[in-house]
Structures are given as structure tokens and as C-alpha cells.
Amino acid sequence: MHTEPGLVAILAYDGLCTFEFGIAVEIFGLARPEFDFPWYEHRIVAVDQGPMRAMGGIQVLADGGMELLDTARTIIIPGWRSRTEPVPEALLSALRQAHARGARLLSICSGVFVLAATGLLDGLSATTHWRYTEELSERFPNILVDPDVLYVDAGQLITSAGSAAGIDACLHLVARDFGTQVANSVARRLVMSPQRTGGQAQFIPAPVSRTPRSDLSRVMQWARERLHEPLGVRELASQAAMSERTFLRRFSEATGASPKSWLQQQRLARARELLESSAHNTESIALQCGYRSVESFRVAFRSVVGLPPSVYRERFGREVKTLSM
């Protein structure tokens, strides 16, 4: 049973980053007739008075001013107009108040500089575009900046890396609210992968590899079909007809992740699907996803998803009778 996801307030201001703003409107503001449950309400919130011009000659009309933040459950902060321009104190105060009453704040790209200025990120992990991570660390030394990931979920505060990583962060929030099946459906409508592997390190400029990647794609699909088996680097490298050392290097270059972390991601993604849509009990799901014990599965699931498998199923699963082993 899906509950009301509440109001999503998307900030707009003069000098708005058009792409990041469009991501939030597309995901949270678009009508979703394919779903039979309430979708997000959304409002465009004006930070500035007067005309608000976005890049590309677009002018944005807002639904209201910052008073709308008082009732928002989620606030989206697109890329800020200039990393060096001070953030209006009225906006900082409104964001702090929203956070204090339990609202979720999500920044995209350089929008993290707005969140950083509130002080709410002090002592927490955060990320931004790889071009700005060093600057963020220097200007806000109390923030634990992770330069390698696509987004960081710190509970009420979610920060994404550059531009398109905002899609990953927003889909992650949808998955938190509705489960992975709904998030995957939204991703399919966007014509994109529901969950990208690796971090933003894979997008930092580097010499273009001439090695074809079709061999790795084939091996990755082979592994997805055998997640119940005890797969490791040896098995994957053998399937790719490479030495383990060569396979590790090429896999990391192609995905930005190690085979071990990629396999963990795939196993847990499969587990989430089974918890949402199947009647199999936790022990059966653990075995189907390649975990040697149900306890190791519970630990891994909770550390990544943030919920025990049983609670995740209660929140996002269909009403089906659980099957015993």
C-alpha cells in the first residue's frame, strides 16, 4: 500500500541550470497515469523576485514564493547559478527550518553549495560534480566529500554528482518512497538504466580505450543469470577468457567498480525485486541471490538499503502470502 508521497518543491532562481531543473520536473511533476496510486504533488518555488531566466533563454514562472517550503516534504535544489555567489540568507533559513521539521533536501550538481552553506552537511558525507569536489572540500572542510560516487544518501539530505547524476539521485528517492519496481518503471519511461553501476570516476576525462567492451557485457549478463551461484573474479575472468589481473583492470575501467561490488549490487537489486513481487521467504531469497546464509544477506541488505528485508517487504511488497522453503 503506497502512502501519499507529499509535496515536492523545486527551487527556481535567476540563472537557473535548465537541465538539472528539468530532471526534477520530469521525475516529480510529470503525470503518471500508469500508476494506480497517488504520485507526488509538485510546485515551482521562486527564490528571486521578478523574472527568473534559465540558461538557453528560457524564463521560468513559479507557483509561489518560499512560503511553499513550509509544507514541502521534499525540496529539490538544482545547480546553483554561481558557486561563488552568496546564497540569500532567507533561502538558507527556510531550508534549515524545513530540515528541522523533517523535510528531505536533495541537491543536484552545484546545488550542493547551497546545502553546504546551511551548515546541515557538516559532519556528513556528500558529493558534487567531479570538477567541484576539491573546491567543496576546501571551502567546507567539515563535509566529508566523496568524489567517486553518483550520489550520497545521508537520510534527510541527498547530494548528487554532476548533471545527469541528478536522475540517479531522484530515482533513488522514488525507490525509497515507492520501491524499486516503481523506480524502474519511471526509469523505463525515461529510457535509461534503472541503476547505473560504478561512480563518477568513470566519467573523468581519460584516454579513450580502444578495447571493445562487448566481451564484458556478455560476461555481466552471464553473471546476472547466475546470481545464485558463488561467483568470483576467477569464474568471471574465465568466462571472459582473460587472466584475473587483466579482467580486474578492464572491468574497473569499464564500470568504475570492482567485480565484487558490482556483484553485490546485482544481488541486492535482485533481492529487492523478489521482496517486492514474490511470495518467497527471506531464506529462499537469500539463496536465490547467492548468499551463503540468511544472516549475511540481512546484514548486506540493511547496510546498503537501510532497512531489514522484512521491513522493506512490508513497505514495498505486494500483498501475497509468503511461501515457506
* Between 235 and 51, residue with greater pLDDT: 235
DSSP assignment letter at 198: S
Kindly provide the b/e burial profile for residues 205-242, where b requires at least 16 CB atoms within 10 angstroms of the residue's own CB.
eeeeeeeeeebbeebbeebeeebeeebebebbbebbeb
What pLDDT is recorded for position 206?
43
Mean pLDDT of 292-310: 90
For the chain, give the mean pLDDT: 89
> What is the distance between the alpha carbons of residues 206 and 31, in angstroms, rounded to a whole number?
40
What pLDDT is recorded for position 319?
58
CB 290 within 8 A of CB 231: yes
pLDDT band at 215 (very low <50, low <70, confident <90, very high): confident
What pLDDT is recorded for position 136?
96
**What count of Cα atoms within 13 Å lies in the side-chain half-sphere of residue 200?**
24
What pTM was computed for the model?
A: 0.74
Query: Percent of the chain, pLDDT > 90?
Result: 67
Phi-psi sector, 108: left (phi>0), alpha (psi -120 to 50), beta: beta
Q: List, for residues 156-172, the tens digit of each pLDDT value.
A: 999 999 888 999 999 99
Backbone angles phi, psi at 41, to 5 degrees: -80, 155
- Asked if the model's pLDDT at residue 146 lies above 60, the reply is yes
Q: List, for residues 78-131, the tens digit of each pLDDT value.
A: 999 988 899 999 999 999 999 999 999 999 999 999 999 999 999 999 999 999
Q: List, for residues 233-285, the tens digit of each pLDDT value.
A: 999 999 999 999 999 988 888 777 889 999 998 999 899 889 988 999 999 99
What pLDDT is recorded for position 197?
58
The set of cell numbers assigned to 242 is: 582473460
What pLDDT is recorded for position 25?
96
Mean pLDDT of 208-225: 72
What pLDDT is recorded for position 209?
40
Mean pLDDT of 37-62: 92
3-state secondary structure of 108: coil
What pLDDT is recorded for position 318?
67
> What is the distance between the alpha carbons of residues 26 and 48, in angstroms, rounded to a whole number?
22
- Asked if the model's pLDDT at residue 64 lies above 50, the reply is yes
What pLDDT is recorded for position 6?
95
Q: What is the torsion angle, in degrees rounded to the nearest 10, for the CA atoms of residue 262, residue 264, residue 265 and residue 270?
A: 130
Among 74-83, 173-182, 192-201, 224-233, which stretch is predicted with the lowest mean pLDDT? Answer: 192-201
143 by Cβ neighbours in 10 Å (0-12 / 13-18 / 19+) ranks as buried
pLDDT band at 321 (very low <50, low <70, confident <90, very high): very low
* Between 204 and 187, residue with greater pLDDT: 187
Q: List, for residues 131-141, the tens digit of each pLDDT value.
A: 999 999 999 99
CB 128 within 8 A of CB 161: yes
